[in-house]
Amino acid sequence: MTDAQETAADTSLRTTGGAPPDDVAPAPIPLLEPREGIPPVVATDDALAQVIAAFAAGTGPVAVDAERASGYRYGQRAYLVQLRREGAGSALIDPVGCPDLSGLGEALTGSEWILHAATQDLPCLRDIGMIPTSPFDTELAGRLAGFPRVGLGAIVENVLGYALEKGHSAVDWSTRPLPEPWLRYAALDVELLVDLRNALEEELDRQGKLEWALEEFDAIASAPPAPPRKDPWRRTSGMHKVRRRRQIAVVRELWTARDQVAQRRDISPGKVLGDAAIIEAALALPVNVQALTALPGFGHRMGRRQLEQWQAAVDRAKELPESELPQPGQQPAGPPPPRSWADKDPAAAARLSAARTAVSELAERLRMPQENLITPDTVRRLCWEPPRILTPDGVESALAGYGARRWQIEQVGPLLLRALDTTGA
Per-residue pLDDT reduced to its tens digit, 252-293: 999 999 999 999 999 999 999 999 999 999 999 999 999 999
- 108 - beta bridge partners? none
Half-sphere exposure of 137 (CA within 13 A, CB side): 25
* Dist. CA 173–CA 82, nearest whole Å: 13
Least confident of 93-107, 136-150, 164-178, 182-196: 164-178
* 343 phi, psi to nearest 5 deg: -85, -40
Least confident of 11-20, 222-231, 347-356: 11-20
H or E, element range at 89: strand 89-93
The angle that helices 210-222 and 138-145 make with each other, rounded to 10 degrees, is: 140
* Dist. CA 116–CA 63, nearest whole Å: 9
Give the pLDDT score at 247.
97
> Residue 26 above 70 pLDDT?
yes
Q: Is 62 helix (H, G, I), strand (E, B) or coil?
A: strand
Q: What is the pLDDT of residues 171-213, one digit of tens each?
A: 999 999 999 999 999 999 999 999 999 999 999 999 999 999 9
H or E, element range at 42: strand 41-42
Give the pLDDT score at 9.
41
> Residue 1 above 70 pLDDT?
no
Q: What is the pLDDT of residues 66-78, one digit of tens each?
A: 999 999 999 999 9
Give the pLDDT score at 332.
61
Span 407-421, average pLDDT: 97
Give 289: exposed, middle or buried? Use CB within 10 Å, 0-12, 13-18, 19+.
Answer: middle
Averaged pLDDT of the chain: 92
Query: Burial code of 255-269, b = ≥16 C-beta within 10 A, e = fewer?
Result: bebbbebbeeeeebb
* Dist. CA 156–CA 133, nearest whole Å: 25
- 66 - beta bridge partners? 81
> Residue 378 above 50 pLDDT?
yes
**CA nearest neighbour of 114 among 217, 34, 223:** 217
AA identity, residue 340? S
Question: Which residues, in sequence order, are CB contacts of 365 under 8 Å at separation 6+?
Answer: none
Give the pLDDT score at 331.
61
pLDDT confidence band for 299 (50 / 70 / 90)? confident
* Dist. CA 47–CA 44, nearest whole Å: 5
**CA nearest neighbour of 212 among 423, 77, 406, 36:** 406
Question: Which residues, in sequence order, are CB contacts of 321 under 8 Å at separation 6+?
Answer: none
Percent of the chain with pLDDT over 90: 86
